[in-house]
Structure 1
Amino acid sequence: MRPPPRWSWLPVAAAVLAVSVLVLPFRLAAIGPGGGYPSAAALGDAVTAGFVRFWSAGTGELPTGLAEAVDFWARFHLVKAVLAAALLAVLVALGPRVLARWAGAQSVPQRLLAALVVVVHASVAVLALLVVVANLQGAVAPLSSVLGLMAVTGSDTELAASIAEVRQTLAAGERTPALDALLADFTTYHVVMAWLGGVVTVGLVVTAILLWRRRARLPRTERRLRRLVLALAGAALVLAGFFGVVTAANVSTAARPAPALLGFFQGGS
Structure 2
Amino acid sequence: MLTATSGALLAAFFVVPHALAHDGVDSGNVAASFRRGLIAYWDSGSPDFPRQLDTTVDFWFRFHLVKAAVSALLLAAVVVLGIFLRRLARQRADERPGRRVLVPAGALVALLGPFALVALVANVQGAMAPFASLLPLLTGGDARADGELAGTLAQMRQQISDHPAEGHSPALTAMIGDFALYHAVMAVMAATVGLALAGVAAALWRRHRAVPDPRSRRAMKAGVAASAVCASLALVIAVANTTSAAHSSQALAAFLDGGW
TM-score by length of 1: 0.87
Q: Aligned residue for 1:169?
A: 159
Question: Using the alignment, how far apart are the partners of 1:233 and 1:115 within structure 2?
Answer: 20
Moved more, 131-140 or 230-239: 230-239
Shift of 1:212: 2.5
> Alpha carbons of 1:109 and 1:263: their partners in 2 closer, same or farther (altered >3 Å)?
farther
What is the CA deviation profile of residues 80-116 of structure 1, one whole-angstrom value per residue up to 9, with x for unaligned ones?
0110011101111111232345553667776666455
Asked if 1:180 is matched to 2:180, the reply is: no
CA distance in 1, matches of 2:3, 2:104: 15
Partner of 1:121: 109
**Aligned pairs for 1:122-141 within 5 A:** 122-141=110-129
Contact 2:25 2:55 in 1 (8 A): no
Give the match's secondary structure for 1:60: coil
Question: Measured at CA, do residues 177 and 258 of structure 1 come closer, stay the same or move farther in structure 2, by a change above 3 Å?
Answer: same
Residues of 1 paired with 2:255 and 2:72: CA distance? 29
The aligned counterpart of 1:46 is 33
Supply the distance in 2 between the matched residues of 1:210 and 1:118 (Cα, whole angstroms). 21
Structure 2: runs of 5+ lacking an equivalent? none
Aligned counterparts of 1:241 and 1:16: Cα–Cα separation in 2: 32
C-alpha distance in structure 2 between counterparts of 1:11 and 1:41, whole Å? 31
Counterpart of 2:257, as a letter, is Q
User: In structure 2, how many angstroms separate the alpha carbons of the residues matched to 1:151 and 1:203?
Assistant: 35
One-letter identity of the residue aligned with 2:7: A
What percentage of aligned pairs have identical amino acids? Answer: 35
Aligned alpha-carbon RMSD (Å): 2.1
Residue 203 of structure 1 aligns with which residue? 196
- The answer to whether the 8 A contact 1:60-1:179 is kept is no
Whether the 8 Å CA contact 1:208–1:237 is kept in 2: the answer is: yes
For 1:13 and 1:189, locate their aligned partners in 2 and report how far apart those are by CA, in whole Å: 31
Task: Give the 3-state SS of the residue equivalent to 1:268 in structure 2.
Answer: coil
CA contact (8 A) 1:144 1:186 kept: yes
- 2:222 corresponds to 1:227: no
Matched, 1:145 2:136: no
Q: Aligned partners of 1:106 and 1:161: how far apart in 2?
A: 69
Query: What secondary structure sits across from 2:144 in the alignment?
Result: coil
Distance in 1 separating the partners of 2:148 and 2:174: 20
The match for 2:42 is 55
Alignment-derived partner of residue 73 in structure 1: 60
Matching of residue 157 in structure 1 with residue 147 in structure 2: yes
What TM-score comes out, normalization by structure 2 length? Answer: 0.89
Q: Which residue of 1 aligns with 2:250?
A: 259
Per-residue deviation, 1:123: 2.2
Which of 41, 66, 70 pairs up with 1:83?
A: 70
* Corresponding residue for residue 20 of structure 1: 12
- Structure 2: distance between partners of 1:66 and 1:181: 13
Distance, in Å, in 2 between the alignment partners of 1:196 and 1:106 is 41
